[in-house]
A and B are shown apart, each in its own frame.
Chain A
Amino acid sequence: MAPISEEAFIEKLRFEKFESEQAKAEESLVLLEHVVANSEWKTASELLNLLRNVVTAVRAKMPWETTPCNMVQRVIKIVIDEYNTCRGASDGGGYQGFSQMMFVDPASGDLPECTDVIPELQDRILEAVAEHKAEVEQSQELIALQGESKIHSDEVIMTCGMCPMVLAFLTKAARRRKFHVIVAECAPKHDGHPMAKSLCSAGIQTTLIQDCAVFPMMSRVNKVIIGTQTVLSNGGIKTFVGAAPLASAAKFYSVPLYVCTPTYKFSLVSSEEVNHHGSGSTIVPQDSNLTSSVNVVVAKFDYVPPENVTSFITNNRGIAPSYVYRQLSELYHPTSYDL
C-alpha cells in the first residue's frame, strides 16, 4: 500500500472514501509508518510530537473519527515502550505501565520526556508497527474464528446494518452451524440490504426487516450481534443509528447483545462526545415537501450504554464492558489519554 500524505489521508477521511474501519486503521498505520520512517526526528520526543500533530489534524476536522486517532495513540504507546526498552530502564510491562501512569498527570497532556538519542530506535519502532499492522489485518479473521463458540445450531440471530466484521463472523459460523439471521435494514443508510444479500449468498437463512420491526421480532431472537464504529472508554459503543432502540429492545427481552469489534476500535473517547448530526435531507420522504419550519435532523451515530452491551467479541477474547478500561490501559499509554 503506497503511503499517502497526511493531507490526502484527511481528505479521504472527510469524504468517507474508506470502505470500512479496517481500511482506515490499515491506512493510518501505513501513514504512521511513513511518518516514522521518513520524517526528520532525532529523539523519541520529537517523534511523539509529530504523531500528536496527526491526531490533532484529524480531530480538528473530524472529531467523530476515532480509528485513526486510536492508531496514532497505539503507535505512541509503541514508541514509548520501545524507547523504554532500548534504554533498558524497563520492559514496559503492564504493571510497570501502571506505576508509570501513577506518576504522570494525564490532564497535563504532556508526553513523557524521551530525549535520549537511540540509533536503533527507528528500526525497532518500524518493526513493532509492522507487527501491529499485521495484527490489525488479522483481526477480522481472528474474530470470525470465534463464531462457532458463540452460536449454537438453530439459533435466531439479529443484526442491523452492514458490518464486515459481523458478516465474517456469521459466515464463518455458518460453515459449522445452521442458524437464521434477521437483518434490520438500518435506515437511513439502509445498508441492511447488502448485508442481507451477502448473508443469503453465504447460504444463511436470512430475513430482512424494517427497523421498526426490531421490537416485535426480538421476542424470537436468541442473540443480537452487531458491529460498531467505536468502543467508548466507559464500555458503551458509538455506532450506527438504530442501534440504541435495538439494544434496548434486546435488553427488554433479555437477549444478549454481542458487539464484534477488533481492538483498534477501542477508543479513549468518552460517551459525552458522541452526538454528531448528519443531514436531515436523507430521511425526508421524497415526494413530501416538508416546509422549512419543520426541524428535520438525523443523527450520525447512536450511543449504546454499557449496560445494554453483553460482551465485546474482540480479536483477543471476549471482553465485558466493565473490563474495557483494562483493555485500554494495555493498548494505550496513559500519557496519550488526553491528546
Chain B
Amino acid sequence: MAPPEGSKRRKPRKRSKKRTSQSGACASPSPGRIPGEPLQGGGPVSVPSEVEVPKPVPLVAGHQQPNTPEKGSPQSLSPKKRTPQRSALSARLVKTGQPQPGVCATGPQQPETPKGGTSNVVLTKKSPLNGPVSKLGSAKADSPKPKSPNTKFSSPPKLGLPPEASENVITLEADAPLELPPQQQQTKVGSSKNQQSHRKPNSPQPTPAQDCILPPITTSQLLTLETLSSFIPVVGVEKANSLSDVKEQSTSLTKGTSDANFITLKSEGDKGIIMSETNKLDNLCNLLENIVIQHSGKEAMSNNTIKLPVAQTSQTITGPPPVKVPPSTTDSPPTTTSQHKGEKTKEEIECERKGRKEAKKAKKKGGEKAKSENDKENYKNINVENKKKESQEEKVMSMATNTQQIQPGDQQGQLQQHTKLSVALEGTDQSDAAGKSKADLKRERREKQEAQRQAKLAAKAKQEAEKQQKGQEEAHPSNNKIRLPQKKKKLEGEGLRRLKDRKSFSKGPSDRRIPLLGHLTPYSSQPPLLPVNCDTIHPAVRTLGLKMKDRIVDGSTARVVSTLAALKQFIHDYRTPESCDLSRDLAEKLLPNVAFLNGCRPQAIAMDNAIRFLKHKINSIEPNMPEAQAKDELRTAIDEYVQDNINLGSSTIASHAAMLIQDGDVILTFGYSALVIEVVEAACNVGRRVSVVVADTPYPPSGAAMVKILSALGVTTYYRLITDVTHIMHKVTKVVVEAEAVMMNGAVQGMCGTASLALAAVTHDTPFIVLCHTYKFCNNDLTDSLVVNELGDADRVVFCPSRDYCGLLVDWRQMQKLNVVSLVYDVTPACLVTALVTEQSVLPTSAVPVIIRRNYADILGQD
C-alpha cells in the first residue's frame, strides 16, 4: 500500500468507523487487510472480502463510469438487453439468496464468529445491524423489512433522488448503485448483502424483482477492474438513446483516451476469461478460472465456509470478487447456485459483451471523430463565453485535431502497457495463491517485487503460467479473491508514488539546471509520466494538460477558462466515497489533477488563483450537504466565476479602456491579446480612429495573428520587432498591454517583452496602460522577473527564423558551458505602469492591495 494513500485515508477511516463498520473497513485498506487475512481460515471470509472492497475503488474511481451510470443506464438500456440482464440478475438473486441463509446467520452469529474476527470483523458485522449512524446504517437498521431497506438504500438523500424513486423500487435500485462512485457501490454492495443477510432470516425468499436486481448490478460492478468495463455496454447503448448523453459519454470515452482503452482492455480480459479466447491473456485467465474452480471445490468440501460461492462468483467474474460473502455453515447450496450463476451471468455477460462491442466499434470508427468533435465542443464550451476570440478558437481547433492525431499513439502505448500489466497482475495473483499458510508473507513479498517485475513482464507471464499450475493444486481461492483487488490497489499506490517521484526528479537528471535560473523548473518536452493504470487524473484534465503543454491552450485567460472547464468536468464525474465527506475527499482528489496540470506546464498565477478559488469553494461546503447539491453548487460557482470575472470582466475592461483612447491615437501593443483586440474594437465602435503598432518577438510570433485580426477590423496596423520599437515610439501615443498577473506591489507580470515596452514608453513619456482582470491579482510581491518565471522551449530559440544561424546551436545540450533560455514572463516594475484598467475601474498600481483585500482576501489568504 502506498503510504500516501494510507495516510490520506486514515482520517476518513476513523470517521467511517463511527458510521458503519463496512465503510470503516473500506476506508482503512492497509490496516484492514493484514488483520483480515488470517481470518480467512475462520468463518468470517466476509471480512477480508470487505476489506478488499475499497481497494478497487481508486481504480474504479475513474471518471468513466460516473458519466455512464448517471445517465441512468438502466433506463437507456434497450428492453432486449434489459431482460437478459434481469434474468441474470434474478439468477444471481437466487444465488445470493441461497448463501444468504447462511449469511443471515452471520449477523446473528456474530458472537460465534468473533473468534476469527478481529475487532474489524466484529465491527463490520455489528455495524450494519447496530450502527445506524450513517444513512446506510440506518437503512440497514431498518433492513428487517425487506422492502424498506431497499427503498431507503436506493434513495439515499445524498443522491438527491426524487421521492418517486422510492416507489419504483426496481429503477431506483438500478439507479442508485450506478450513480454511486465505485467505492460507494462496493460498500453498498456489501451493505446490501448485509441487508439481505439480515433480511433473509426474516424473509429467506425476497421478492426476486426487488432484491434480485440489486445484487446483480452491484456484483457486476464489483468486478473491480471490470467495473469499468461493465459500464461500457451501457455507454454504447446509451449513445443511441439521448443526444446530450452521447456527448458526455463520448467525452468520457474519448477524452479519457487512455482510460477508455484501459477499460476496453479489461472488458476484453473479462470476455476472454469467460469465453476462453485464444490469446495469452485469456489463457492465463482460464488457468485462473480453473484454479479457482478447483480450489473452491476443495474448500467448499473442507471448510464448510462460504468460500465456495465466493470462488464461483470469482470464476464468473474473473477473480476479483470483493463481494462480501458472509461466512455461513451452509454446504450444499453453493455448487448448484454457482452453476446457476454461471449460466445466468453468461447471459448477462453476453449483454455486456454486446454493449462493449458497440462501444468498441464506436470508439474505433467514430473514436477519432468523436474525439475531435469532443475537443472542439469542449473548446467551444470554453470559448462560447469568449465569443469574440473566434480566431483563437479556430487556431485552437485546428491544433486540437493535430493533438488528436498524436494521442492515439500514446493510447496504444498505454494500452499495451495495460495489457502487459494486467497479464502480470493476474499472473502474480495466481502465483500468490500458491502460498498456502504463509500466504500473507508471500503476498507481501510479491507485492514488493511486483514493481520490479513490471519491467520483465513478458518473461514473467511465462513464469506465472507455470506457477499457476502449481497453484492449481495448492492455492487458496479465497486468497485469490482477496488478493486481486489488493494488488490492484497496491499497484495504484505504487503508481501514485511513482508519479510523485517522477514529478520530483524526472525533470532533474536529464535537463541540467541553468546557472542563474536554477530555481526554475527546466522545460521538458515530455508531459509528466503517469503510472499505467493511474486513474487519479481525470481525462479532461489530462487532455487539457497536454494541450497546455503543446501551447494549444495558451494565454492566462484561456488557460484559466479551460482549467475550470476541465475541473468542472472532474467535479461532475466525482463521486464521494462512502467513508469520506465530499469537501475533504474532493480536495484530495483534486490535488493530483492540479499537480498534473502543473507538471505539464507550470501554473500561471491566474490559474493558481482560480484553483485556489475552487478549493476555497470546496472547503466551504457543509459536510452534511448532499453530494448532488454540493456538486451543483460547485459547478455553478465555477460558471459564475468564469462569467463574472472573465466574460463580463473583459467587456467592462474594454469599455473602460476605450474611454482612455482618443481619436487618432496610435496604440502600441505586444503580441497577441484578445483583450486588447476587444479594447480596439470598443474604441472603434465609439468612433475613435486608432492605429495599432504590434510589437512581436521572433518566437512565439503571436503578433502576426494579432495584426491579421486588427487589419481585418480595418485598423491601420504596423508590425514591428520588440527590439525595434524605439524607432516608432515617437509616433505612439499610448501603450496598451494585457497583464498575465498583477502583484500586490503593483508589479505587472506579462509576457516576456512587456517590460521593455514599458521602458520604451517611459523613456518617450508615453502612457503605459495595463489591462488586467482583478482575478489575476496576486497576493505576492515581486521586484524582479526571475524569482517567479517559467522556462519555455529553448529549442524554439535555437531554431530561429534566421537563415544563417537557424539550428546553429542545435547540440547545445551537449555543450557543457552553453545554455539556451527562453523566459516566458517578465515583471514590469510598478513605477513604469501609468494605469491599471480593471473591470472595477481604472486604478493606479497602488490600489492593487486594496482590491485584493476587498475582494479576494478569503481566496488568496488561504494556502
Contact = CB atoms under 8 A, between A and B. Distances in A.
A188 B759 CA distance: 21
A193 B759 contact: no
Contact of B823 (A190, A194, A213): A213
Nearest to A288: B704
A302 B820 contact: no
B789 interface: yes
A165 B722 CA distance: 26
Interface in A277-322: 280, 282-286, 288, 290-291, 293-299, 302-303
| Contact-residue size bin, chain A (C-beta under 8 Å from the other chain) | 35 or more
B515 interface: yes
A285 B697 contact: no
B721 A207 contact: no
A328 B135 CA distance: 95
Given A196-B809, A295-B717, A203 B817 contact: yes
A319 to B, nearest CB: 24
Contact of A190 (B756, B784, B802): B802
B707 A249 contact: no
Contacts of B797: 185, 208-210
Given A205-B817, A215-B755, A216-B786, A293 B822 contact: no
A290 B707 contact: yes
Contact of B805 (A156, A191, A283): A191
A272 to B, nearest CB: 13
Contacts of B802: 187-191, 193
Given A200-B815, A213-B826, A245 B756 contact: yes
Contacts of B786: 216-217, 219-220
Nearest to B707: A294
B818 A196 contact: yes
B808 A245 contact: no
B415 interface: no
A283 B802 CA distance: 9
A214 interface: yes
A227 to B, nearest CB: 16
Interface in A167-189: 180, 182, 185-189
A211 interface: yes
Interface string A125-148: 000000000000000000000000
Interface string B162-194: 000000000000000000000000000000000
Contact of A294 (B516, B718, B756, B822): B718
A204 interface: yes
A248 interface: yes
B800 A245 contact: no
A216 B826 contact: yes
Given A217-B786, A248-B759, A206 B822 contact: no
B325 to A, nearest CB: 65
Contacts of A204: 817
Contact of A290 (B704, B808, B827): B704
B501 interface: no
A199 B818 CA distance: 9
B698 interface: yes
A219 B503 CA distance: 30
Nearest to A245: B756
B711 A284 contact: no
B801 A286 contact: yes
Interface in B813-851: 815, 817-823, 825-827
A213 B719 contact: no
Given A207-B514, A275-B727, A288-B704, A298 B821 contact: no
B242 interface: no
A33 to B, nearest CB: 33
Given A190-B801, A190-B805, A196-B809, A208 B719 contact: no
B763 interface: yes
A291 B800 CA distance: 23
Nearest to A285: B701
A223 to B, nearest CB: 15
B723 interface: yes
A282 B708 CA distance: 18
Contacts of A187: 697-698, 721, 723, 800-802
Contact of A216 (B718, B760, B784): B784
A212 interface: yes
Given A189-B802, A216-B827, A302-B726, A248 B708 contact: no
A18 interface: no
Given A249-B756, A249-B759, A217 B823 contact: yes
Interface of A: 156, 180, 182, 185-191, 193-194, 196-197, 200, 203-217, 219-220, 241-242, 244-245, 248-249, 252, 275, 280, 282-286, 288, 290-291, 293-299, 302-303
Which 10 A-B pairs give the minimum distances between C-beta atoms?
A: A216-B785, A212-B753, A190-B802, A242-B723, A288-B704, A285-B701, A193-B805, A200-B818, A216-B826, A215-B755
10 contacts: A190-B801, A205-B817, A208-B812, A209-B821, A210-B821, A242-B723, A242-B724, A252-B759, A285-B698, A296-B719
Given A208-B819, A296-B720, 17 more contacts: A156-B516, A180-B516, A187-B802, A191-B804, A193-B808, A196-B820, A197-B818, A208-B812, A211-B723, A213-B826, A216-B786, A219-B785, A241-B721, A241-B724, A249-B756, A252-B759, A302-B723
